[in-house]
Amino acid sequence: MSFFRKIIPFLRFHLLSINLRKSKNPFLRFLYREIISQEKDFYDFMKIEKLCTQLENSKAELLPSTHGAGSLTINPNQKTTVGKIARATSISRNGGKILFRLRNYLQPDVTFELGTGTGISTLYLYAGCKKGKLVTFDGHKELVDVAKSVLGLSPLPHNHATDLSQSLKSPFHANTVSFRDGDIFQNLPEELSKISTLNLLFIDAAHTCESTLSFFNLCLPKIDENSVFVIHDIHWSKGMEKAWEEITKNPAVSLSLDLFEMGLVFFGNHSSR
């Protein structure tokens, strides 16, 4: 996205921050104070950021992926490295902390993440609430292997470059996280059929308007009034902006917040759009 296309939603976010801070609605003030702008460093942040740096500096090669839109700066049909993927696609430190605080506040029984990537956003979600079911989906098998290592669940296979397999020693053991690698559109309905309520959803996969709306609509029947959906990269492209606009207009949505990097969607009666 060009600078000029970014500047307008960025300014809108700052205006939103001012409005939330001054809002008379206690829920909106709580969201701003405790979820969006909270500056307290929690216990696991330093550990996660150390892993982020290791991933971003890694030269371990990855094979091409056939799933997802990937990145505007990475050709999905060519070999790349873990470092390039981490730098181009991982959630920002601030965005990760919002995910952490949101899951810490919700204490959800069931969380789905669509788009595991290198596992950094998964780790922020897990660290925010180390109990409850967290299922993460990705179409890139080799990336899932990296994410499992980041979460301390399995060592990297020998086919990965030694710079990562030898240096990446996760202090975590995220045994409440389960992985589904392969086509998300095939795996998601199966996992949805196993649950009654989806408490928290993080969408960070495919990055097209059609796919994002499909993910949203597939998961919508599993919400209750306390469910929260988070859509990452809502200003990544015109298509993602269109998807976000359509989501905010859905009759089931009672409140939507554009945080520039991501959008938060609520369904309860605590506020109106």
C-alpha–C-alpha distance, residues 194 and 47, integer Å: 33
Nearest partner of 66 among 182, 159, 161, 145, judged by Cα: 182
Query: DSSP assignment of 199-231, as one string?
Result: -EEEE-SS-SHHHHHHHHHHHGGG--TT-EEEE
What residue has token string 């998300």? 184
Read off the pTM.
Answer: 0.88
Query: Nearest CA to 185 among 139, 148, 237?
Result: 139
Residues paired with 112 in a beta bridge: 135, 201
Structural element, H or E, at residue 16: helix 3-22
Beta pairing, strands 228-232 & 200-203: parallel
What is the percentage of the chain residues whose pLDDT exceeds 90?
A: 63
Cα 118 to its chain centre, rounded Å, is: 11
What pLDDT is recorded for position 71? Answer: 47
Amino acid at 74: I
Half-sphere exposure of 187 (CA within 13 A, CB side): 17
Q: What is the pLDDT of residue 273?
A: 41
Contact 175, 133 (CB under 8 A): no
Distance (Å, whole) CA 215 – CA 113: 11
Low-confidence stretches of the chain (pLDDT < 70) are 1-22, 64-77, 157-167, 270-273
Distance CA 14, CA 37 (A): 11
CB 196 within 8 A of CB 168: no
Neighbours of 237 (CB within 10 A): 17
Dist. CA 267–CA 244, nearest whole Å: 15
Measured CA to CA, the distance from residue 109 to residue 178 in angstroms comes to 14
* pLDDT tens column, 96-128: 999 999 999 999 999 999 999 999 999 999 999
Domains and CATH numbers, the chain: 3-266 (3.40.50.150)
Q: Residue 14's pLDDT is what?
A: 47
Tokens of residue 63, six digits: 């094979």
